[in-house]
Chains A and B, each alone.
Chain A
Amino acid sequence: MLLELSDYKDDMRRCIRCSICKWPPLAQVKSLRFSNACPSVAKYNFHPYSGGGKLALGLALLEGKLTEATDEMLNILFRCTACGACDSSCKYNAEIEVLWSIYSIRAHVVGAGYQLDEHAIITDSLRREDNPLSFPKSERGKWAEGLDVKDLSKGGRAEIIYHAGCLSCYDPESAAVARDTVKLLVKAGLDVGIRGAQESCCGSSAFQLGFQGEFIKFAESNIDDWNAAGAKTVVTSCACGFGIMKSVYPLLGKEMKFEVKHISEVLADIIKDGRLELRKNLSAQVTYHDPCNLGRKSEQYVPWKGEAKKLLGQFIVREPEKIIHRGWNGIYDPPRNIINSVPGVILKEMERIREYSFCCGAGSGVKQTMNDFALWTARERIEEAKSTGARTIITACPWCKKNFKDAIAELEEKVEVYDVVELAKQAI
């Protein structure tokens, strides 16, 4: 099993409540207004909502000081998008595995039979219809109707499999972006195929909510399908999926005969080597929102198992050496390269970017079960976007885009949101 709470005991014990998990790395804080890293503690202002706070809860559960999970505790554990900002910030100070501890606490609590009622809808939907959105499996392939692309569910082979992701299959707006994506790939001469109605969820929501058993089933099934299809590359639009495929799928011990890439990587490549030319001058000021799962959470995670020794009673030395995952190796440049390749477009960076980017608010089931919190977080981020002077947000994740658009519609703001693929398409 991937998530065993006892594996993170040392991590949880070493939290000294320095509170760095609540802020971006201090050298990167540029203003007081946008100095929060963690949406949960920024909104609810109560220490347990922060990364370190959840670790304290987890330690209490592990050591038996808390013997049951009350409704309030479940609220604290699940009112969190698992964005990993706490994890990334903590690594500047204490190198504690905050994010994976949070995953393990959730798995521990779920295994003991506690869950939010709303999560039952997500897991039921995954079991019955292979997606967390309660849409029927039979309609999974509808988004690609009429699209001129290889349908691998009918047999055949392709070098590249395009994994649309659940939101792109069922949400009309995201589906339109997915169709454009496929057309761009085909136009650039790539041998791409889709799995149509046989595609199933990446399992990321199951994993992040602690439903390990469900996640393992989806992940193993996808790996088998992609291996059996003989593809060399799997390209996805779903940033959540991408993050989990890169960071967690390799931990299952199954041979992955393919490489996982995000659409922004592929798109940046084909623009760079000229297979796709962006000629139209779009003349706009935009800002780019780094999705958590594309950025800091897509670094491959290697759980550390070894011996930790104390030198001079104080310094911890680990054998073998522990690889610290700070999120520096996520996908940050490809989307920016695409934006910079569009003539006339000026990119204005927000204050919290790259591995210390501020979450959009939709992740880990929050959008589906706590929409109020998701929208609050989105509003915060939109404020930050507006503060750059840009009126257009570019992002690379359908969930981020959807959440921003919902918040904008509510506020009736004059801000536009586009996926980086849409931007590229408009510039052809």
Chain B
Amino acid sequence: MIYAAIWRALPGPLAVRVLLAVVLVLAVVAFCFLWLFPRIAPLMPFNDNTVDPSAAVVHDARPAPTVAAVGTAAVYPLGVRL
């Protein structure tokens, strides 16, 4: 229904409508790829590659051992690290 309404709202002959529809889809994809997804990716619970005591927040409750040489821990919202 939403898509049908958008289609009806597009002006001009069929060729112009198809062109406009493609442009709209590409605009949504570009928005997602360049703005939206890079911002929500840090909230995804995968892609973590480092060993880190703060990972305990997410993964298990084992007390983290303390070591002098530990990677700099950047903590992200919700305690999630990617």
Do the two chains bind?
Answer: no
> B residues engaging A (CB < 8 A)?
none
